[in-house]
Amino acid sequence: MLSICTLKSAPSLLPRSPRASLCNHTLGHELHCSSMFCSPCSSSAPYMRGREAVAMRLDVSELPGFSAFASTLQRRLLDVWGRDSFDHLVNNAGHGEFTPFAETTKAQFDGLFDVHVKGVYFLTQALLPYIANGGRIVNFSSGLTRLSAEGFSAYAAAKGTIEVLTRYLAKEFGPRGIAVNTVAPGAIETDFGGGIVRDNAEVNALYAGMTALGRVGVPDDIGPMVASLLSGDNRWVTGQRIEVSGGQAI
């Protein structure tokens, strides 16, 4: 199986992210990673564990570049794998903004929606002709669409939009057998927000205290869920928001 995963982090950060965990859990899959906002990552990175990968550069906030990216992808598919389609698209590129509502600027708001909403919408549209019938799409949302935390109003609004979009894509792509779902992580020890959950003991303890399983998440808690949604075992699951949070704020 052949997957495309949009990324955001620099190569040196990837092993600490859910994207690396996904690579580790997509056994039997060739993984095609397109790296966002950074130089192409190495296809021989240790977290790939022998799987074949090609890295391509794309800024998901620059919509005019999507057509050229799709054309380049088409050539790579043929040259590297001898295929004209791929099986899985994981829309994971993104960033956060921690700013109170009254202080959020138009530039911050637009930046979030350009990446998290327009980027997902129009990149998926550009790549749709190359997604195989019976394929899978996984979009990323956040636990912040269910619970509220001061400073994340714009970010959560963008992610809420993705949850609605996921249901519409599931409806429209259903005749082709393409399942579309949303994964919504809770507080995870990654580089998100400058690594505040991972590196700030007080914040880490705060979120652990509101989580039923008694700790915050780690990347390896997220990758297996995404991989399961890409597998045939969950072929009858589509249009769903699946929170992976250890029971945060329940």
pLDDT in tens, 88-145: 999 999 888 889 999 999 999 999 999 999 999 999 999 999 999 999 999 999 999 9
In this prediction the pTM is 0.87
Q: What is the pLDDT of residue 54?
A: 84
If you average pLDDT over residues 220-224, what whole number do you get?
94
**CA–CA dist 169, 120 (Å, integer):** 11
- Which region among 30-39, 46-55, 218-227 has the lowest average model confidence (pLDDT)? 30-39
What are the catalytic residues? 155
Measuring CA to CA, how many Å separate 7 from each of 10, 36, 41, 90, 179? 9, 5, 10, 9, 21
pLDDT tens digits along 18-40: 555 555 555 444 444 444 333 33
| Contact between residue 12 and residue 42 where contact means Cβ atoms under 8 Å apart | no
Backbone angles phi, psi at 205, to 5 degrees: -65, -35
If you average pLDDT over residues 6-18, what whole number do you get?
47
